[in-house]
Amino acid sequence: MRQLLFLLILLCSALPVWAQAPFHATFRGQEYHFQPTTVQGKAALNLADPQVLALIQATSAQVQVSSSGRTLYVFLPGRQTYWSDGAGVYTRNGQELEAPGMFFTEPAASMEPLALFEAIGLRAYPVAEGYQLASLVTDFGPSTPDSLELKMVTSAPLKFVATEPEQGQIRVEIAEAAWDRAERKFRMGEADVEVLGGDKPGVPLVAVYRFQPFWTAKVKFGLTREILVSPEPRQFVSATQQATLQDVKDVPAADGTRDIEFVLDRGTQFFWTLDSSSRTLKVEFPATNSTVNGVRVLKTANFPVSRYEAVLAEGQGFEFYQNPDTPNSLHLKLAAGLKPVEAAGTASMAGSYGASGSIVLDPGHGGGDPGCTNRALGVWEKDVTLDICLRMRDILQKQGWKVDMTRTTDRDVTYAGSPDLMELKARADVANNNQSDLFVSVHCNASVSTSSRGSAIYWYKQEDQALAQYLDVLDDRLGFEQDGTIRNSFAVLRLTSMPAVLVETAFLTNPTEGRLLATPEIRQKIAELLCEALGKYMAAAKRK
């Protein structure tokens, strides 16, 4: 009996040595299998193990051991950690913290699993027989000190989906990303940022950026796969040449009324936003530089924005006006009793160099030709294209364009049952007879395969190609994939005498893109993006 008891004690004392069970970890769809060894009574992973090396290589971590072999250094963008042999603490970005596990140098360089995951910037969620790993956000802030562009860096490159649920709001969703900071709501640059999710396995991290209502943002990968959010005014029609805000004259009167004169070298578009809580009015001039005191110049990815701020006294309203004899000056009047103006808006000064022109919008199909359909949703192509073109017409007319349409109702341009070529020639003739600058035909794509998806811009004549490249903007902001620009001898492209393109917005027959095309909000965004691109194209064309 005493011999049996002695044997049991030996077995129990040996358990920490040989009872370390293998486990697995899943990251970015890849499964890693680990066999820990016992070091100083703890389960540890050998850093030279091929599975450990493969996991490290799946991140952006750079791992180095000091010349003495006693300290481990791990470098990630925005995050540096130091680990000392056998210590219960570690250093992260200069701050000493309690370690989730230890680093060992004997008998070989190794770490406890949770320490390894922390070192290479991964959040570990326990699951059956192992861990589900997520990439931590290691850096978050302006991409450069003087830029409005915001960056989000994760410990491993991850795909994202960017959408714009409402004007001025950008939503970036990143699967398999985690947020380990206490603060989830904060102001950064020109955005109020809120971070959601990223705290449970399978729950994506969502960063919501809220800009001013008339701003939007392009979301893209940077050179090192960081996620960049680049804001700029949404409705701005690019000027043929940048303006200069030369002077700001603020003339207060004895009764508290103020007349603020903005003196520019040319007319331009301007925006305003009133913060009702602080009563601060922001006036912004896109594509405008300035060295005037009190004017802040914001740098977007494409152009500078000059901003002036004025605080309204209690009971004051505001209005903008111009004197006919000074077309390059804009006046802002602050006074009591003024008729209320929208809290946010945009307008153009007289004499502004708006990049507009004349255009024919051609809503594909119509009347007896319904085009393709998504029967599950009950949506016809002819209705989608007409709705998008009517929205484009409204936007472009406000920007000073002369807009003609091949149809404004559900009808054939010629007559029901007419030959296809006759119908298509009639559409091209609307542009040819009006001697329009541009022709844009809007369609929805279709396929017998419901998996086919993506927007595409078709061109034929050499002068069409540049326009097609500018209009290739229907991207992941809308939830669409992009097939790019494609050359094709469609009749409306062959028969028009000006730059012309055919826009296949997305596949109506695809379940995902079909649902998006059926949504009025997405159609509005399609219209806005295409109109913005048309303005940029015309601005570039006028510079030549």
Condensed to tens digits (0 to 9), the pLDDT of residues 232-244 reads 887 665 544 678 9
What CATH number did the domain enclosing 254 receive?
2.60.40
Mean pLDDT of 141-155: 88
Residue 511 domain-assigned (yes or no): yes
Mean pLDDT of 499-522: 96
Mean pLDDT of 84-102: 95
CB 328, CB 349: distance < 8 Å: yes
Q: Give the full edge-to-edge strand order of the sheet including 344-348.
A: 295-299, 304-311, 280-286, 269-275, 344-348
- State which residues form the domain around 407: 358-543
Boundary of a domain, candidates 313, 328, 348 = 348
Q: Identify whether residues 82 and 219 lie together within a single domain.
A: no
Residue 1 domain-assigned (yes or no): no
As a whole number of angstroms, the distance between CA 248 and CA 256 comes to 18
Q: Identify whether residues 160 and 114 lie together within a single domain.
A: no
Q: Identify whether residues 478 and 510 lie together within a single domain.
A: yes
Mean pLDDT of 489-493: 96
Residue 48 scores a pLDDT above 70: yes
pLDDT given at position 238: 52
Residue 319 domain-assigned (yes or no): yes
Residue 215 domain-assigned (yes or no): yes
Q: Identify whether residues 386 and 455 lie together within a single domain.
A: yes
Boundary of a domain, candidates 212, 233, 254 = 233
Q: Identify whether residues 329 and 193 lie together within a single domain.
A: no
Q: Identify whether residues 535 and 490 lie together within a single domain.
A: yes
Tokens, residue 418 = 């007419």
Q: Identify whether residues 270 and 318 lie together within a single domain.
A: yes
What CATH number did the domain enclosing 489 receive?
3.40.630.40
Strand partners, 534: none
Q: Identify whether residues 177 and 251 lie together within a single domain.
A: no
pTM: 0.61
Q: Identify whether residues 73 and 198 lie together within a single domain.
A: no
pLDDT given at position 341: 76
Residue 59 domain-assigned (yes or no): yes
3-state secondary structure of 380: strand
Which of 4-18, 181-195, 264-278 is least confident?
A: 4-18
Residue 4 domain-assigned (yes or no): no
pLDDT given at position 522: 96
pLDDT given at position 542: 63
Which of 81-90, 209-218, 236-245, 314-323 is least confident?
A: 236-245
As a whole number of angstroms, the distance between CA 359 and CA 430 comes to 10
Residue 47 domain-assigned (yes or no): yes
Q: Identify whether residues 270 and 393 lie together within a single domain.
A: no
pLDDT given at position 241: 61
Which of 361-365, 399-403, 449-453 is least confident?
A: 399-403
Helix (H) or strand (E) holding 273: strand 269-275
Side chain identity at residue 171, one-letter code: R
Average pLDDT score, the chain: 89
DSSP 450: T
Residue 16 scores a pLDDT above 50: no
Residue 100 domain-assigned (yes or no): yes
DSSP 236: -
pLDDT given at position 6: 30
Q: Could you tell me which residues come within 8 angstroms of residue 111 by beta carbon, excluding any fewer than 6 positions away?
A: 44, 45, 47, 72, 83, 101, 102, 103, 104, 119
Helices and strands per DSSP (H, E), number in the chain: 9, 40
Boundary of a domain, candidates 80, 97, 120 = 120
Looking at the chain, the whole-number percentage of residues with pLDDT higher than 90 is 68
Look at the chain and report how many structural domains it folds into: 4
Q: Identify whether residues 339 and 380 lie together within a single domain.
A: no
As a whole number of angstroms, the distance between CA 535 and CA 348 comes to 14
Greater confidence, 242 or 447? 447
Looking at the chain, the whole-number percentage of residues with pLDDT higher than 70 is 93
Q: Identify whether residues 340 and 389 lie together within a single domain.
A: no
CB 61, CB 119: distance < 8 Å: yes
What CATH number did the domain enclosing 40 receive?
3.30.457.10
